[in-house]
């Protein structure tokens, strides 16, 4: 359908001088004269393509100050309006509009700008067609106005937001996607009729040719911070600066000197006994600013060639710099960072991307110099995205690594292919093939959960949208998948059959259910290189239900049953999660959640000194989360976050393994253990000016692992006494634009 209307969507706007639009939320016709006007909003959730249930109009206008976008949303009194105040980068189900912009129109990187009916905002970067990251915070203007029959939004995105190509003859072709969501029902209506539920999203944006404007910007954001640790009695004071310079549309530089990455953002607590590293996203401003150019991922979960959380992991960062821009139709990026101290590393990356009419081709070279370990790690990645027709989307990745350490060299490669095919009547198919060599190593700078992998899967999907009005559901999406996974030694990890159903309910609620049936196979990671473990067939079933705010309450429930360990399905484990949010008013809410997990045959490796010794435990875990969110006004917010984890594990068997991976009962002693973990933060934030903040943070936490166990109830209670760290942090940053 999009191909059919492509010619109609392209519009050349007048090149005459355009006056600035006053961003006040009130749409004055004189200000928007000559704008591209959109009124054909179609339902994309559910994905029926029918006209939206409420009238929606939008205007897009290029001005010297930036790209201006306005929405007029009809919402008569008989349609409930959400009044909830939200924090930046919210994901609550509220009335909102979305403006997505691909400034180069090449389907590589999109920028999402969201405004709620109460003036809350969110911004994200979109890469790899439909992968969203809200780590980035941009500087843009917005305003909301409402009346009895509806509400309006105006927003202005400056031209210095992203590097972009010059265009030709004084014009620039962008691609846009405009959407509106009704909070009470979850209905999404959009123009054009694209959807992030499809494998192609960015590529399906509508092209609009606008007058070409450029903006230059030099912004310096110095900071000062102070930290006092009440446990050690130590204090620390820091200062540094972030620098952003964009002299023209083709070039952009970001730099940071002595950055302070103090804990003003609290990561969720993680207790991980597996061989797989936990992936954690990055909120640090320098690393999120225009990071999309460096995106090179594979279908393996969270895998990426450049994982910014590596930088600063072995030492303080003395300085870092990032350049990105364009030369003709080639986009480029350069990245470099140095860590301080004896164990500090040096990180470097070079990225090139070339856009063609129906495909993109890119390459990235990364290098990490690690003098402390006498190690140099070099990785070359090549990515190709091909859209031969409106139905096909094919993504190919090639990766090669070379590790030079202490005079020895080790190199290997990996390759992946990911193909999606959109059929008629809601049917889709997907094929994925992955190969990662035994010695492919990305984790000096990137993230790869495991190498030594050969994986294949085929998936069929069916979307049901034409449901009767009497149905609880507005849409259902069924998926069936078969997959096979082997390591690079020819040993089968497992075969799997997966069936899942995703449901959107007419009241805005969400459901997801999934069942996996796994064949017998081996684990080659449990023993950390000391052999393999043969595992029996097992299954797991999972159900999730989310109900957005109705009245004063919102709820979420998750339930899971799973087999595993050497017992397979003879001993089923279980997990239950329930969380609720109570809204005292539209600006002040309390939240609480409880997670209870039982693993009756939990296999845990006993360490390098024990070789292939594994303990089998009856493991019980309880996680308590609680907090409050108070949006005091448009500039101030207070957040309290508490998380406590308690684990008790009672040993019932000890195992060693023969050369074929069969379990052999061992006489070794395996001790019961318990874990207590606490994280507590009170954070006050005051916005002095755009991207200028005062933070006052109190944080306390600790971790303790003990031999023996008294049970999770006692461990959870005792976790509140943990006090390994107790800190007061004050940070002030202010952005000066020159």
CA distance 236 to 214: 42
Residue 217 to residue 738: CA distance in whole angstroms: 7
pLDDT value, residue 263: 58
Q: Are strands 473-486 and 492-505 parallel, antiparallel or unpaired?
A: antiparallel
CATH topology for 2-213 is Immunoglobulin-like (2.60.40)
Q: Are strands 141-147 and 150-157 parallel, antiparallel or unpaired?
A: antiparallel
> What is the structure's pLDDT at 1?
37
Cross-strand pairs, 591: 581, 627
The candidate with the shortest Cα–Cα distance to 620, out of 541, 542, 536, 716, is 716
Instruction: Name the least confident of 56-60, 385-389, 433-437.
Output: 385-389
The beta strand positions in 551-691, using DSSP E, are 553-564, 568-583, 588-605, 614-631, 636-657, 663-665, 673-689
pLDDT at residue 265, as a whole number: 73
Pick the closest to residue 453 from 399, 394, 381, 517 (CA basis).
Answer: 399
For 406-464, strand residue ranges (E) read 408-422, 427-436, 453-464
Q: Is the pLDDT of residue 291 over 90?
A: no
Contact 43, 52 (CB under 8 A): yes
First to last CA, the chain: 46
pLDDT for res 31: 93
Q: Which residue has the higher pLDDT, 333 or 134?
A: 333
76-93 burial code (b ≥16 CB/10 A, e <16): eeeeebbbbbbeebbebb
In 192-258, which ranges are E strands?
Answer: 206-211, 217-229, 235-248, 251-257
Q: What is the pLDDT of residue 262?
A: 55
Contact between 58 and 14 under an 8 Å Cβ cutoff? The reply is: no
**pLDDT band at residue 19 using 50, 70 and 90 as cut-offs:** low
Confidence at residue 715, expressed as pLDDT on a 0 to 100 scale: 94
Q: pLDDT tens digit string along 692-738?
A: 999 999 999 999 999 999 899 999 999 999 999 999 999 999 999 98
Least confident among 141-155, 157-171, 710-724 = 157-171
- Answering whether pTM is above 0.85, one says yes
Closest listed residue to residue 267, CA positions, set 588, 643, 719, 647: 643
User: Any idea what the Cα angle at residue 570 is, between residues 272 and 514, rounded to 5°?
Assistant: 65
What pLDDT does residue 197 have? 87
User: Is 716 in contact with 646 (CB distance < 8 Å)?
Assistant: yes
Number of neighbouring beta carbons within 10 Å of residue 11: 14
pLDDT for res 18 = 56
pLDDT score of 519:
98
Write the CB contacts of 286 (distance below 8 Å, at least 6 apart in sequence): 242, 254, 255, 256, 259, 320, 322
Q: Is the pLDDT of residue 361 over 90?
A: yes
Query: Rounded to 5 degrees, what angle do the CA atoms 195, 198, 199 make?
Result: 130
- Gyration radius of the chain over CA positions: 27
Number of Cβ atoms within 10 Å of the Cβ of 630: 18
Q: Which residue has the higher pLDDT, 265 or 149?
A: 149
Q: Which residues pair with 480 in a beta bridge?
A: 460, 499
The answer to whether the beta carbons of residues 408 and 267 sit under 8 Å apart is: no
The answer to whether 460 and 479 are in contact (CB under 8 A) is yes
pLDDT band at 350 (very low <50, low <70, confident <90, very high): very high
Give the pLDDT mean for 6-28: 62
pLDDT of residue 13: 38
**Host H or E run for residue 68:** strand 66-74
Q: How far apart are CA 162 and CA 106, in angstroms?
A: 14
Reported as a pLDDT band with limits 50, 70 and 90, residue 358 is confident
The mean pLDDT of the chain is 93
Residues 6+ apart with CB under 8 A from 91: 122
Three-state secondary-structure class, residue 239: strand
The band of 510, judged by pLDDT with boundaries at 50, 70 and 90, is very high
Distance CA 278, CA 447 (A): 10
User: Phi, psi (5° rounding) for residue 309?
Assistant: -65, -15
Token couple for 555: 């709820």
Q: For 123-150, what is the mean pLDDT?
A: 91
CA separation for the pair 561, 575 (Å, rounded): 7
**In sequence order, which residues have a C-beta less than 8 Å from that of residue 209 and are 6 or more positions away?**
10, 11, 12, 13, 171, 172, 173, 174
Q: What are the structural domain ranges in the chain?
A: 2-213
- Residues near 95 by beta carbon (within 8 Å), at least 6 away in sequence: 73, 75, 81, 82, 116, 117, 151, 181, 182, 183, 184
Q: Which two tokens stand for residue 104?
A: 């180069």
Which pair of tokens denotes residue 28? 């004055």
Rounded Cα gap, residues 177 and 179, in angstroms: 7
Strand order in the sheet with 141-147: 36-38, 56-63, 66-74, 150-157, 141-147
pLDDT for residue 261: 59
Give the whole-number percent of the chain exceeding pLDDT 70.
97
Look at 6-15, 191-200, 209-218, 465-474 and tell me which has the smallest mean pLDDT: 6-15
550-565: pLDDT as tens digits = 999 999 999 999 999 9
């Amino acid at each position: 359908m999009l191909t059919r209307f492509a010619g109609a969507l392209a519009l050349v706007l007048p090149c005459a001088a355009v006056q600035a639009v006053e961003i006040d939320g009130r749409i004055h016709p004189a200000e928007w004269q000559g704008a591209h006007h959109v009124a054909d909003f179609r339902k994309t959730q559910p994905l029926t393509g029918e006209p939206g249930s409420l009238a929606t109009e939008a205007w897009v206008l290029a001005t010297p100050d930036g790209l201006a976008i306005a929405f007029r949303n009809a919402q008569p009194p008989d349609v409930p309006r959400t009044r909830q105040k939200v924090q930046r980068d919210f994901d609550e189900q509220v009335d909102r509009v979305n403006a997505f912009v691909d400034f180069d129109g090449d389907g590589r990187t999109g920028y999402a700008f969201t405004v709620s009916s109460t003036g809350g905002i969110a911004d994200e970067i979109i890469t790899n067609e439909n992968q969203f990251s809200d780590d980035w915070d941009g500087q843009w203007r917005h305003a909301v106005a409402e009346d009895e029959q509806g509400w309006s939004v105006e927003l202005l995105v400056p031209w210095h937001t992203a590097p972009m190509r010059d265009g030709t003859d004084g014009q620039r072709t962008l691609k846009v996607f405009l959407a509106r969501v009704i909070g009470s029902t979850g209905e999404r209506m959009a123009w054009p009729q694209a959807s992030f539920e499809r494998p192609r999203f960015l590529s399906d944006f509508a092209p609009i040719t606008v007058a070409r404007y450029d903006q230059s910007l030099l912004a310096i954001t110095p900071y000062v911070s102070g930290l006092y640790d009440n446990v050690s009695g130590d204090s620390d004071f820091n200062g540094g600066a972030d620098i952003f310079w964009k002299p023209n549309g083709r070039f952009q530089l970001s730099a940071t000197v002595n950055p302070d990455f103090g804990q003003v953002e609290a990561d969720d607590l993680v207790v991980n006994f597996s061989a797989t590293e936990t992936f954690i996203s990055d909120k640090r401003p320098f690393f999120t600013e225009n990071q999309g150019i460096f995106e090179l991922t594979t279908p393996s979960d969270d895998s990426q060639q450049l994982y910014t959380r590596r930088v600063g992991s072995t030492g303080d960062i003395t300085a870092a710099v990032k350049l990105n821009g364009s030369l003709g139709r080639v986009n480029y990026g350069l990245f470099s960072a140095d860590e301080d101290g004896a164990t500090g590393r040096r990180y470097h990356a070079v990225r090139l991307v070339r856009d063609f009419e129906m495909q993109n081709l890119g390459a990235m070279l990364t290098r990490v110099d690690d003098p402390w370990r006498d190690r140099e790690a070099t990785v070359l990645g090549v990515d190709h995205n091909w859209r031969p027709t409106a139905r096909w989307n094919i993504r190919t990745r090639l990766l090669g690594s070379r590790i030079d350490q202490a005079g020895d060299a080790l190199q290997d490669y990996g390759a992946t292919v990911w193909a999606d095919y959109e059929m008629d009547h809601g049917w889709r198919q997907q094929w994925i093939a992955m190969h990662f060599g035994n010695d492919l190593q990305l984790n000096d700078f990137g993230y790869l959960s495991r190498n030594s992998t050969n994986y294949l899967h085929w998936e069929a999907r069916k979307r049901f949208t034409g449901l009767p009005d009497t149905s609880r559901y507005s849409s259902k999406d069924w998926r069936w998948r078969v997959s096979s996974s082997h390591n690079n030694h020819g040993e089968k990890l497992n075969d799997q059959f997966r069936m899942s159903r995703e449901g959107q309910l007419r009241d805005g609620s969400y459901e997801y259910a999934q069942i996996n049936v796994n064949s017998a196979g081996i684990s080659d990671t449990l023993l950390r290189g000391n052999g393999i473990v043969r595992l029996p067939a097992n299954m797991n079933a999972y159900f999730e239900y989310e109900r957005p705010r109705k009245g004063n309450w919102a709820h979420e429930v998750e339930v899971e049953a799973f087999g595993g360990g050497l017992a397979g399905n003879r001993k089923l484990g279980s997990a239950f999660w329930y969380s609720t949010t109570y809204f005292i008013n539209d600006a002040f809410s309390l939240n609480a959640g409880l997670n209870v997990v039982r693993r009756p045959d939990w296999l845990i490796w006993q360490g390098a000194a024990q070789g292939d010794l594994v303990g089998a435990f009856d493991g019980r875990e309880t996680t308590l989360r609680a907090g409050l969110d108070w949006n005091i006004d448009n500039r101030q917010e207070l957040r309290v976050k508490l998380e406590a984890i308690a684990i008790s594990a009672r040993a019932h068997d000890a195992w060693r393994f023969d050369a074929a991976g069969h379990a052999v009962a061992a006489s070794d002693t395996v001790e019961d253990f318990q874990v207590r973990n606490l994280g507590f933060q009170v954070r006050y934030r005051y916005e002095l000016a755009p991207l200028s903040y005062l933070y006052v943070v109190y944080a306390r936490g600790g971790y303790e692992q003990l031999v023996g166990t008294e049970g999770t109830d006692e461990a959870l209670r005792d976790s509140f006494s943990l006090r390994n760290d107790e800190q007061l942090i004050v940070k002030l940053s202010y952005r000066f634009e020159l």
